[in-house]
Amino acid sequence: MTGYRPLEGRRIGLLTASASRQGGGVFEAVVAQAALIRSLGGEALVFALEDEDSARDKQRFDPAPVALAKVKGPRQIGFAPKLLPSLIAAELDCLHLHGIWMYPSRAGSLWAKQTGLPYFISPHGMLDPWITARGRWKKALARAGYERAGWAQATALHALTAREAGDIAREAGRQDLLVIPNAGPEVQAIRGGARANDVIYIGRVHPKKNLVALVEGWMLAKRPKGARLRIAGWGAEQDVADLRSAIAAVDGSAEFLGPAYGEAKQTLLNSARFMILPTHSEGLPMAVLEAWAAATPVVMTAECNLPEGFAAGAALECGYEHAAIASALEQALSMDETGWQLMSKAGQALATGPFSSATIAARWGEAYAKAIGEGAAQ
């Protein structure tokens, strides 16, 4: 990628509901996108709704500036009257919205309408049927009020996977979709010696992540002596309470660690035997890419939309019910060292190949540059 700078002198706006840990995987994807834009010679500018963690987390985007807009009214709507003026004043060459169903969608489509400049939308799995089936009336209002107009206005709708492309096409009625996966982080050196029999989960505590069933599956599974289930995450008070209640019924081999960021998160990834994600719905989970980069094999459902992991031997598939999760855990924890090493290396091969930052940057560089060039020619 040395010398490849198709975005030299271009200002690309990244618009999202949360520029903090509260945004979960979408936040991590936007952090990565900002770095990707810089690697291509462009200037990334981040626009988001202000929340309780945005001030302390905005340094994750350094040196990209982060413009935070105060929310008026319900947080779940995210109305921020100063967001659109901030976008207009930034004199962008292109705007890229990450995540939908909140006011940033409306601000983004108004920006595109007023400027006539390239506008990309990445739903990040938020058009998955499991998601659209929840809060139906709110999403119906959002569709009618601004989402459909934004989808029609967009230069391109971006899907992380072919499966998500189908969800977007069904909802938006467009077939001209851009399919580019998330880029994983830089790979970690594989350390010598066997790891402890720890299975970790890192991410949001939410019903779609299926964590109560995970704990129940852990209780049911036949496990080697000393094996531990370690869950690191954050979420709504009731969801965390439900998880703690499930863990309390376990024999002491499962624990809830609370949020883990930065070095603490990386230590978990580097030391675990497996990472697990028994989710009902995802776009393309950054946690899986982070695990592969850390040479940690994965246990996951097909809803993670990473069939490459199963095909390459970097992941084992689990179901959603506790019995199916237990069976997958038993398979993982009974694996010998040779088998585990093969899985570990397969994951790192994916992290350095199709999901590497260089590969994904080249694809985005082409997409952004083409859209900006065509916009300038009009």
Lowest mean pLDDT among 81-95, 120-134, 271-285: 120-134
Confidence of residue 45 (pLDDT cuts 50, 70, 90): very high
Strand 94-98 to strand 156-159: parallel, antiparallel, or no bridges (unpaired)?
unpaired
Asked if residue 15 belongs to a domain, the reply is: yes
- Shared domain check, 100 and 224: no
Residues 341 and 224 in one domain: yes
208's CB contacts (< 8 A; 6+ apart) are 130, 131, 279, 280, 281
Q: State the total domains in the chain.
A: 2
The reported pLDDT for the residue numbered 190 is 64
Question: In this structure, are 142 and 164 located in the same domain?
Answer: yes
The secondary structure of 24-42 as a DSSP string is HHHHHHHHHHHHHHHHTT-
189 in a domain, yes or no?
A: no
What CATH number did the domain enclosing 117 receive? 3.40.50.2000
Q: Which residue has the higher pLDDT, 150 or 4?
A: 150
Whether 364 shows a pLDDT value over 80: the answer reads: yes
Over 70: is that where the pLDDT of 354 sits?
Answer: yes
Please state the φ and ψ torsions of residue 138, each to the nearest 5 degrees.
Answer: -65, -40
Residue 161 covered by a domain: yes
Percent of the chain with pLDDT over 90: 67
Asked whether residue 2 carries a pLDDT value surpassing 80, the answer given is: no
pLDDT of residue 193: 64
Looking at the structure, tell me whether residues 286 and 307 fall in a common domain: yes
Tens digits of residue pLDDT in 197-255: 999 999 999 999 999 999 999 999 999 999 999 999 988 899 999 999 999 999 999 99
The reported pLDDT for the residue numbered 155 is 94
**29-39 per-position pLDDT tens digit:** 899 899 999 99
Q: Is residue 126 part of a domain?
A: yes
Q: Indicate whether 358 pLDDT > 90.
A: no
| Distance between CA atoms of residues 36 and 362, nearest Å | 9
Average pLDDT value for residue range 254-276? 93
Average predicted confidence (pLDDT) for the chain: 91
State the Cα–Cα distance between residues 187 and 191, nearest whole angstrom.
12
Residues 173 and 43 grouped into a single domain: yes
Give the residue from 283, 201, 285, 290 showing the smallest Cα distance to 246: 201
Q: Where are the alpha helices (DSSP H) in 64-147?
A: 83-89, 103-115, 129-132, 136-142
246 shares its domain with 156:
no
Cis peptide before 63 (omega within 30 of 0): yes
Whether residue 256 is found in the same domain as residue 140: no
In terms of domains, do 59 and 86 share one?
yes
What residue numbers bound the domain in which 71 lies?
Answer: 11-183+356-377
Residue 186: its pLDDT value, please?
82
Q: What is the pLDDT of residue 191?
A: 63
Quick one: tokens of 133? 């089936």
Provide the pLDDT for residue 192.
58
Confidence of residue 50 (pLDDT cuts 50, 70, 90): very high
Domain assignment present for 279: yes
Is 331 a domain residue? Answer: yes
**Region 296-323 average pLDDT:** 95
pLDDT of residue 162: 87
Q: Which helix (H) or strand (E) holds 232?
A: strand 228-235
- Same domain? For 75 and 158 the reply is yes
CA 164 distance to own-chain centroid:
13
Question: Each residue of 71-118: pLDDT tens digit?
Answer: 998 888 889 999 999 999 999 999 999 999 999 999 999 999 999 999
Return the structure tokens found at 48.
């988001």
pLDDT for 1 beyond 60: no
Q: What is the pLDDT of residue 375?
A: 54
pTM over 0.85: no
